[in-house]
């Protein structure tokens, strides 16, 4: 990497993250500045995509309820899956932190639970970022205005926090941060706003994970090629900014609300609809599916697109006559592909947790190299 460019990256990181108290807004703004520099200097495609998916996820997590649409729900499902797969490929052995910490509860919640929760409510409505700011404000008030006597600290904090709330000073600060992020993000939006297009070659090496992902978005696949198309080299989903609403009557958002549905209901609906899609032989955005009987035993391969590579044909031959997939079956013979991608992610995390007990290495992600 050019030393001048490397210095510029370091300056962006130091400027955005050098504060003692860093907020979510600080990280989001720093990410946007990094992406702008990476596009300017034409960093490697996969590395750009890794950070682009992270920026897009952060945008979706802060959408209001009136912006929660069918298209945005599909967008979050696709983006989180792609982000997780890129992390596994680009950071197979993290440094500075352990695999357990990198692939732990936070990434699991982001890639597995967030899209399902977005089905029933705006994720902005259930985050506690604003409330958590109170701890930092309380510390500043106690340090700057109290006489350091224990009996006076709490009453002083409560009085001044209530005063800030009545003057709306706390909310103004938050809105100012969001406004700045929105303004800066317009500069990179052109690189992120396109439809999600996942190349066939990228899917070939992770077909089990892809099949689990398709099961989670089965609601969008029931109508055939309504929300997606095969453009020859990739599967393109109509979830970008310019994508038109392809089915006005599509009832996903209106039918799912947190007062009437829970995450378990969403999962059950996806599983039921997935079996219906397979039986009806509806076209799917995948080269082939692995089929299983009711006992979870592998029964064969169902091809959907004529793009199977030599490597995939070898993989099919190796799996014929066995009761296993890329994800091992449990002792009772249950098929993990009958569940949501939660199983896929959980198995990956458990494997990495076991390895992390034996060695811990530092994280050294070199941007633009």
pLDDT digit string, tens, across residues 265-295: 888 888 889 989 988 889 899 988 888 877 7
pLDDT beyond 60 at 337: no
Where is average pLDDT lowest: 158-162, 179-183, 288-292, 316-320?
Answer: 316-320
Give the Cα separation of 271 and 275 in Å (integer).
Answer: 7
Structure confidence at residue 121 (pLDDT): 85
Mean pLDDT of the chain: 76
| 79 vs 216: CA distance, rounded Å | 13
The neighbour count for residue 199, using CB atoms within 10 Å, is 10
Q: Give the lowest-confidence range in 183-187, 273-277, 295-299, 318-322.
A: 318-322
H/E stretch holding 197 reads: strand 196-199
pLDDT over 60 (residue 124): yes
What pLDDT score was predicted for residue 11? Answer: 76
For residue 75 the two structure tokens come to 């967008």
Which is higher by pLDDT, 321 or 139? 139
pLDDT number for residue 168 = 65
Rounded mean pLDDT of 251-267?
68
**Residue whose C-alpha is closest to residue 274's, from 330, 323, 206, 212:** 212
Query: Looking at 61-65, 202-206, 265-269, 327-331, which range is the least confident one?
Result: 327-331
Provide mean pLDDT across the span 304-331: 45
Q: What is the DSSP string of 240-284?
A: STT---S-TT--HHHH--TTT--HHHHHHHHHHHHHHHHHHT---
Does an H or E element contain 40, and which? helix 24-40
Helix axes 70-90, 341-356, angle to 10 degrees: 30
Q: How far is CA 63 from CA 7, 121, 123, 178, in A?
A: 34, 10, 7, 11
DSSP 123: G
**Among 12-21, 112-121, 156-165, which range has the highest average pLDDT?**
112-121
Band of residue 308 on the pLDDT scale cut at 50, 70, 90: very low
pLDDT at 334 over 70: no
Higher pLDDT, 1 or 175: 175
| pLDDT score at 76 | 94
Q: Tens of pLDDT along 70-95? A: 889 999 999 999 999 999 999 988 88
pTM of the model: 0.74
Summarize the confidence of residues 191-195 as an average pLDDT: 87
More confident residue, 22 or 279: 279
Residue 324, phi then psi, degrees to nearest 5: -135, 155
Residue 362 has pLDDT above 50, yes or no: no
């Amino acid at each position: 990497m050019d030393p001048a460019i490397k210095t510029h990256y370091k300056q962006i990181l130091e400027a955005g993250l050098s504060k003692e108290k860093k907020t979510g807004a600080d990280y989001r703004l720093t990410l946007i500045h990094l992406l702008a520099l990476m596009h300017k200097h034409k960093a490697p495609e996969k590395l750009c995509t890794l950070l682009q998916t992270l920026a897009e996820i952060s945008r979706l997590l802060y959408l209001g309820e009136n912006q929660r649409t069918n298209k945005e729900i599909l967008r979050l499902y696709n983006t989180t899956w792609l982000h997780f797969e890129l992390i596994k490929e680009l950071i197979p052995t993290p440094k500075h932190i352990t695999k357990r910490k990198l692939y732990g509860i936070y990434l699991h919640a982001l890639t597995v639970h967030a899209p399902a929760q977005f089905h029933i409510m705006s994720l902005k409505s259930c985050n506690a970022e604003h409330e958590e700011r109170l701890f930092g404000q309380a510390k500043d008030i106690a340090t700057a205005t109290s006489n350091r006597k224990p009996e006076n600290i709490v009453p002083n904090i409560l009085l001044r926090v209530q005063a800030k709330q009545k003057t709306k000073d706390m909310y103004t600060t938050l809105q100012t941060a969001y406004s700045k992020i929105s303004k800066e993000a317009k500069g990179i939006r052109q690189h992120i706003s396109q439809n999600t297009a996942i190349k066939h070659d990228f899917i070939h090496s992770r077909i089990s994970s892809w099949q689990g992902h398709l099961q989670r978005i089965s609601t969008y696949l029931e109508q055939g090629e309504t929300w997606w198309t095969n453009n020859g080299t990739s599967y393109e989903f109509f979830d970008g900014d310019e994508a038109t609403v392809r089915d006005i009557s599509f009832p996903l958002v209106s039918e799912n609300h947190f007062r009437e549905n829970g995450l378990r209901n969403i999962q059950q609906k996806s599983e039921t609809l997935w079996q219906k899609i397979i039986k009806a032989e509806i076209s799917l955005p995948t080269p082939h599916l692995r089929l299983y009987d009711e006992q979870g035993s592998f029964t064969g391969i169902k091809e959907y697109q004529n793009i199977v590579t030599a490597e995939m044909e070898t993989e099919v031959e190796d799996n014929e006559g066995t009761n296993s997939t890329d994800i091992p079956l449990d002792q009772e013979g249950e098929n993990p592909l009958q569940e949501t991608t939660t199983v896929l992610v959980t198995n990956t995390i458990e494997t990495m947790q076991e390895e992390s007990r034996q060695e811990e290495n530092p994280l050294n992600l070199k941007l633009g190299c």
